[in-house]
Structures are given as C-alpha cells and as structure tokens.
Amino acid sequence: MAILFLLLLSTLLIVSILFSAKRRSLPNRRPPFPPGPKGWPVLGNLPQLGSKPHQTLHSLSQKYGPLLGLRLGHVHVVVASSASTAAMFFRTHDANFSSRPPNSGAEHVAYNYQDLVFAPYGERWRMLRRLCALNLFSAKAMEDFGHVRAGEVARLVWGLKTAQAAVNVGGEVNECATNALSLVLLGRRVFGGRRDEDQAAAEEFKELVVELMKLAGVFNVGDFVHGLGWLDLQGVVSKMKKLHKKMDKYFCKIMEEHKEKDDGNGKASRDVLSIFMKLKDESNEDGGFTDTHIKALLLNLFTAGTDTTSSTVEWALAELIQQPSLMAEAQAEIDSIAGRSRLVSESDLPNLPLLRAIVKETLRLHPSTPLSLPRVAAEGCEIAGYSIPKGATLLVNIWAISRDPSSWPEEPLAFRPERFLAGGFHEGVDVKGGDFELIPFGAGRRICAGMSLGLRMVQFMTATLVHAFDWRLGEAAGKLDMEEAYGLTLRRATPLVAIPVPRLTSQAYPKHAY
C-alpha cells in the first residue's frame, strides 16, 4: 500500500513538473498589470498616498513609468501621468471608461448617483447634461446672461475699491462667482442679503462647499476595502451624511421659496431653476425629471462652478504679484484695448492674447482638479502593452501631465505664459480637451460640462482684477507662500491677502449702479 502511494505521489510530481515546464515554454497570452510599488497587506497602496496624492503619484510615475498600477485595498487602480497615456484612455478607449466607480461621496452627498457628475454613463446622464448645456452653457445662454456676469464683476470691483485695506482675494472672488451663478440659477444673490439670517445662511453655504471639496478629495478606506465600509474608520461617511443633510435642507428651502414666488406672481420666473421645475412638472412620474435631479444639479453647479473658479483666479493673481514686470505687461495690454476710463469687458477678451495665455499657464501649473474624477473600466482591455482588468479605476494625474518635461521641455515648473503666444513652443495649444498635454477640464465624453462658462469667468475676472488695480502685499507679508492644500479642488494652503490699489480713472468705477 505504501509502495502504491509513493508511485502515485511520484506520478503526480512528474506530471506537475511537466505541466509547469509546458506553461513556461508557452508565450504569456495575457499582458501584465502596469508596474507600481508593493503595497501593504489588505490596504494595498492606500497608506502610501500621503496628504497630497497628486504629488505622490507624480513621484511614483517617475520611478515606474507614465502608466502606474496600484492596488488600493481590493481595487485595481491605474494612473495615467503623460499626455500620450491620457490620450489612450480619453480618446482611444473613452467609451470603455465613461462611467464612475462606486464611491461614498456619490452615494451619500450626490443623491446616490442622481447628479450629473457621478451619474452612470447612459440616457439619464445625457438628459442631465443636455439640460445644463441648453440652459447654461450654450453660446446663446452665455450671451443671454453676459450682463449678469458684468454686473457682478462690477460689484466686486466697487467693493474692492472702497475696502481701502488688505482683502482675502479668494473669498471676494468666490462670493462674486457664486452670486453671478445664483442670479442665473435662482434669480437672486446668495451673498449680500440685507437680513442677518440671509447673510448667515450664505456664509454657512460657503463653508459647506469648502467642506464638500475637502471631503471629496479624501481616499476613503471603505470605498476600497470590501467589508470595512460600515466601520467608517476615517469618519468620512459620517461627515458626508451630515453635510448632505444640511445642503439638502438648503436646496429644499430654495425650491419651496421659488415655488411660492412663482405661484404668487401668477407667472414663472425666467431663471434656470424655474425652467427645471417646470420641466419636472411636465415630465412623466415614472422616472422622468424629479426634485432629486434638480437638487443634485444645483449641488453640482454650485460646487463645481464656484470654488474652482475662485481658486484659479486667486492662483493667477498670486503668480502675477510674484512677477511685477509680467503684471505691468498684462495691464498695458488691457489698457491698449479698454483704456483706463472704463472696466474691461467680456467682448475685449478675444483681443487680449497675453491675458488668455496667463490663464492657460495658471490652469497648467495649478489645475483646479489635479486628479481627474475617477472613471471605471466597463470591460477589460489592453493599453500600452498592459492589461487593465474590468472594474479597474482610472485616475489621470492632470497635475503631473502639466509638469511632464516630455510635453513641456522649456522650464516646465516656471510660470511662463509666453509659451502660448505667437512663436512660443506651445502656440495653439488649447485647454478644451483636444491637446492632452493641457487638460485642466478633462477630456472625452466626461469632460467638464461647464468648461465654457468656467473659462469665460476665470478670464473675465482675472482681466478685471489686473486692469482695475495694482496689488500690494502687506509690509509684514514677506515672500508669497505658494504651497498647495489638496482637496478635490487645488486650493492655496495660505489664502492670498493683498491690498487693491485703484489704477483707473474714477469714472471707471460706477458706484451708482451697484
């Protein structure tokens, strides 16, 4: 019996050896997963991301290559860190990477994927995007609401002129951008209400948006390690639920007041919310357009359309303050078109190539979203010789791409707007998703829906602040701190505080209108 057992064991061993030899002799039919650092047990590479993941991932890509493979908990994650690699995902394989992976933010804040940003790619997403494009982002809508933007920017200028003291630039710009958007969406301003309760509600809403951007930038362990979500180890889900409850209450109140106003007047207002509410009333009850969709869209528009705009304008002004000669050159360009007896207008922007180049360079070095919003592989595929499994999460490191010497050979870390001007190495490079070395708004099907409005606001507000004022730092300010604070939006670690000194004639500041 023992001899029989030994013979059987020997046979199995020989077969195993022969099978292994045969496997080694055959070509590897499945490409490997992209290279990356070895991770921890269970958590994978999560503990290695640090407080500024975009910078950490940039460093890792320099070691492992432009297509980085990670394991965050149980989730395979690939990170594209070069223009050519991003193009493979956003152009060649865009259809396969057009939906979002499951995440706690979409579930607990964004109305369980009922919004535009996190909705699965499909008919409902197309419907929401079409509504926003038609009523907010089309050429006609941009033209129709141009007077609103002009009025709010003029209010900002007048407020800065009368301040006669150092101001928090980002805070002032944020209020302007929020009011310009809320007048279009709601028919009224969020900031500047006469009642104390209105001012308190506006400040609370502003804080909620900032908190949302911070929470959205956190890599929540429960999203990646199956079975640990209920523990909420970082307290992220708990904070999201509280945040959602407050924001939902705010939006419900707005909609109720809007409905009462429309009913009381006997006719609907012409703002976007009234249009959305009318569409909701006309839609079928079985899954058309609901109150939840409206609140989810308001959430998207107020968060994506305010904080990103104000942070970009703040970064642009900080860069110009650091380069007085460039600031003077930009002012001279605007003076040559608008003069010094009126404020610069949106219609002047096409005639300001240096100003537009300054905005491009700001978006390159300080992209408002340093890591693209995640996408998920609907099916497994092969990219750049590597295997991307079904269900893998895609991150595109926009911050790293903007610093890649292979795309930006001329001082990639320096603020040099002239690279985009006539004769510059990157003349003709645009930010609208076709040139993958500069994709601050993303690219492909899920490119930022509000790109046209966001870019217009950033250009217009930057031009106005440069034109209307000279900017001085306080005596004790010293060297300007340019450190980043990571979140979903790339904010400054230290807010820009500066003194606006009027430089135009008095008639350029129209007090009576504002």
What residues form the annotated binding site for heme? 448
Phi, psi angle pair for 267, to nearest 5°:
-150, 150
Cα separation, 428 vs 257, whole angstroms = 47
Indicate the burial class of 207 (C-beta count within 10 angstroms; 0-12, 13-18, 19 or more).
exposed
Q: Which tokens belong to 41?
A: 């047990």
Annotated binding residues, written as ranges, equal 448
Q: At what angle do helices 307-322 and 324-338 cross, to 10 degrees?
A: 110
Residues in the chain: 514
Cα separation, 514 vs 491, whole angstroms = 29
Q: How many CA atoms lie within 13 A of 494 on its CB side?
A: 9
Q: Which tokens belong to 11?
A: 């046979």
Cα separation, 438 vs 31, whole angstroms = 30
* Residue of 441, 130, 181, 140 lying closest to 301 (CA atoms): 181
Are 375 and 382 a contacting pair, CB within 8 Å?
A: no
**Cross-strand bridge partners of residue 76:** 71
| Contacts by residues 243-247 (CB-CB < 8 Å, ≥ 24 positions apart) | 243/109, 243/208, 243/211, 243/212, 243/215, 244/108, 244/109, 246/204, 246/208, 247/109, 247/205, 247/208, 247/212, 247/299
Which residues have a Cβ under 8 Å from the Cβ of 164 and sit 6 or more positions away? none
Q: What is the DSSP letter of 101?
A: P
Angle 49-50-56 from CA coordinates, rounded to 5°: 60
Q: Would you give the end-to-end CA distance of the chain in angstroms?
A: 102
Angle 241-245-250 from CA coordinates, rounded to 5°: 145
Count, in order, helices (H) and strands (E) of the chain.
18, 11
Which residues have a Cβ under 8 Å from the Cβ of 173 and sit 6 or more positions away? 156, 309, 310, 313, 314, 461, 465
Are 386 and 69 a contacting pair, CB within 8 Å?
A: yes
Q: Which tokens belong to 215?
A: 């929470």
Cα separation, 168 vs 266, whole angstroms = 42
- The alpha carbon torsion through 428, 324, 498, 349 (nearest 10 deg) reads -30
Amino acid code (one letter) for 102: P
